[in-house]
Structure 1
Amino acid sequence: MSLAHETSLLPMPEMQRITALFGGARVLKHRVTDRLEAHEMLQQGMPSQALLHLIEGLSILRDPISLEKAVGISLRTIQRRKETPGKALSAEQGGRAWKFAEVLAQATDVMGNQDNAERWLERPALALNGRRPIDLLTTPAGIELVQQLLGRLKYGVYT
C-alpha cells in the first residue's frame, strides 16, 4: 500500500490531502495551507521531486497515456526529471499536476478512498457521454465537467 493510499484513508481537509499526494511540505519545500500559498509555490516552481512522488504513489499514472492526460507531461519528460530532480517545474507544468491532485482529492472524498477514486477516473461515465473522466483532464473545460460531476455525485444529483 502506498503512502498516498494510506493517507487517503484518513479524513483530512482538501489542501492537506493534495499536499500529501506531492509528499507534503518536506518534498514541496513549502508549507501550503491555502490556495494563495499554492499559487505562490507553483509560480516559484514546484520541485520535480513532488511530481515524481505523485506519480510513484498512484497506479493510475503508471500508464503513459493516462500520465500525459492527467498532468500534461510525457513519459520522456518524466524520465528527464528523474535525471535532474533538483530542477523545478514550470508554473504551467506544476499547475497541471496540482489541478490533477485537486480532482483526485475531490474524487477520493466522493468515492470514499483513493483506490476507488483512481478506478472511477479510468471508467467510462454515462454522465460524460461514455468518456473516461481522466480523458477530460486535458482541458480546463473538461476538468470543470469532471469536477461538476463529482459535485453532483457527492450530493446525489445524477442528472
Structure 2
Amino acid sequence: MEFMGGRRLFKQLPQSRAEIHGALVKGLPYAVLVHIVDHLSALSADQIADALGISGRTLRRQKEQPDKPMPADLASKTWLFAETLAQASAVFGGRDAAERWMARPAMGLDGARPIDLLRTLQGAELVTEFLGRLEHGVYN
C-alpha cells in the first residue's frame, strides 16, 4: 500500500481481497497513479503509462483531476503494478533496485523487460512467478 500512497490516499485501507476487489471496481482515485509516478525514479511516466495501457498524455491530463475515479480495468492494472513493484522491492532489497530490474531485459523472462510484460495479466503472472523463483533461489 505504501507504493500507492497508503493512508494518505485511502480513507480506509482494504483488509481483504474482497475489499480490494470492491475498491478496484469502485475505481481508485487517479491520485494513486499520480503518487506512483511521482515517487519512482528509474521508471519514466511514459514507461509506467505504457505498462498500464494508457498514453503519457492521458496520464498527464489525469494529474489535474486526482480525485476522479479510474475505470476498474485501469485501477486493477495500477494495483497489480504496485503489488509487483512491492514484490520486486522485497526480492532486490529496495525500490530503486526493483525499478532498475523492471526496466531491463531479464533472461528468466526470455529477454523481455518485466515492465513490458505487465501490459497483460498473463505477462504479469510470468513476472510474479519469476520473482517467486528468484526469492527462493531458482533462477530458471
TM-score by length of structure 1 reads 0.82
Cα distance in 2 for residues equivalent to 1:30 and 1:90: 19
The CA deviation at 1:34 is 2.5
The CA deviation at 1:33 is 2.4
Cα distance in 2 for residues equivalent to 1:145 and 1:98: 16
Match of 1:139 among 98, 120, 131: 120
* Aligned residues between the structures: 140
Q: What is the CA RMSD across the aligned residues, in angstroms?
A: 1.4
2:54 is paired with a residue whose SS is coil
Shifted more, 147-156 versus 67-76: the winner is 67-76
**Counterpart residue number, 1:62:** 44
Q: 1:60 to 1:96 in 2, by over 3 A?
A: farther
The 5-angstrom pairing of residues 8-157 of structure 1 reads 19-64=1-46, 66-157=47-138
Structure 2: where are the runs of 5+ without partners? none
Identical residues among aligned pairs (%): 46
TM-score by length of structure 2 reads 0.92
Moved over 4 A (4+): none
Task: Judge conservation of contact 1:25–1:31 (CA < 8 Å) in 2.
Answer: yes
Structure 1: where are the runs of 5+ without partners? 1-18
The CA deviation at 1:63 is 4.3
Cα distance in 1 for residues equivalent to 2:69 and 2:16: 21
Shifted more, 21-30 versus 145-154: the winner is 21-30
